[in-house]
Chains A and B, each alone.
Chain A
Amino acid sequence: MTHLLAVDIGWGWTLAIKTVVVLGLIPLGALILGYTFLLKMMSHMQSRLGPMDPGGFHGWFQLVGDGMKFLQKEDIMPEQADRRVFALAPAVVVISTFLIFVVIPTGPRLVVKDLDVGVFYALAVSSLSIIGVLMAGWASANKFALLGALRAAAQLIAYELPLLLAVVGVVVQAGTMNLNGIVTAQQNGAIFGWDGLGNPYILTQFVGFALFLVAAQAELTQTPFDMPVAESELVSGYMVEYTGFRFLFFFIGEFGTAFAFAALAATLVLGGWALPGVHGGTADLLGPLVLFVKLMAVAFLIFWVRFTYPRLREDQLQAMAWKYLIPIALANILVTGLFKVWL
Chain B
Amino acid sequence: MTAVGPSAGDGGKKKSARRLPGQGLVEGLGVTLRTMFEGAVTVQYPHEKEEPPTRARGVIALKEENCTVCMLCARSCPDWCIYIEGHKEARPPRRAGGRERSVSVLDRFDIDFALCMYCGICVEVCPFDALFWSPEFEYSEGSIAKLLHDKRKLGDWMEVVPESEPLEVGAEIKAK
Contacts and interface: CB of A to CB of B under 8 A. Distances in A.
B171 interface: no
B92 to A, nearest CB: 60
A47 B40 contact: yes
Looking at chain B's contact residues, the main secondary structure is helix
A135 B108 CA distance: 63
A47 B32 contact: no
Contacts of A309: 25, 28
Among B31, B32, B41, max chain A CB count under 10 A is at: B32
Contact of B44 (A41, A52, A308): A52
B65 interface: no
B87 to A, nearest CB: 51
B16 interface: no
A304 B40 contact: no
Contacts of B28: 308-309
B33 interface: yes
Interface in B92-106: none
Contacts of A304: 29, 32-33
Interface in A272-310: 304-305, 307-309
B35 A46 contact: yes
A44 B41 CA distance: 9
Given A305-B29, A309-B28, A45 B35 contact: yes
B1 to A, nearest CB: 17
Interface string B19-30: 000000100110
Interface of B: 25, 28-29, 31-33, 35-36, 38-42, 44
A49 interface: yes
Contacts of A44: 35-36, 40
Contacts of B40: 43-44, 47-49
Interface string A161-186: 00000000000000000000000000
Nearest to B38: A47
Contacts of A308: 28-29, 31-32
Contacts of A305: 29
Nearest to A47: B41
A307 B32 contact: yes
A77 B25 CA distance: 41
Contacts, number: 34
Contacts of B42: 47-49
Contacts of B39: 47
Contacts of A47: 35, 38-42
Q: Interface size for chain A: under 10, 10 to 19, 20 to 34, or 35 or more residues?
A: 10 to 19
4 cross-chain pairs, A with B, having the tightest CB-CB distances, nearest first: A45-B32, A49-B42, A44-B36, A49-B40
A308 B33 CA distance: 9
A311 B44 CA distance: 31
A49 B38 CA distance: 12
Given A44-B40, A49-B40, 10 more contacts: A45-B33, A47-B38, A47-B42, A48-B41, A48-B42, A49-B42, A49-B44, A304-B29, A307-B32, A308-B28
B86 to A, nearest CB: 47
A46 B29 CA distance: 12
A49 B36 CA distance: 10
A309 B33 CA distance: 13
A204 to B, nearest CB: 22
Interface in A212-267: none
5 contacts: A44-B40, A47-B39, A47-B40, A49-B40, A304-B33
Among A45, A48, A304, max chain B CB count under 10 A is at: A45
A41 B36 CA distance: 7
A305 B35 CA distance: 14
Nearest to B37: A44
Interface string A97-129: 000000000000000000000000000000000
Nearest to A224: B25
Contacts of B35: 44-47
A257 to B, nearest CB: 23
A236 B31 CA distance: 27
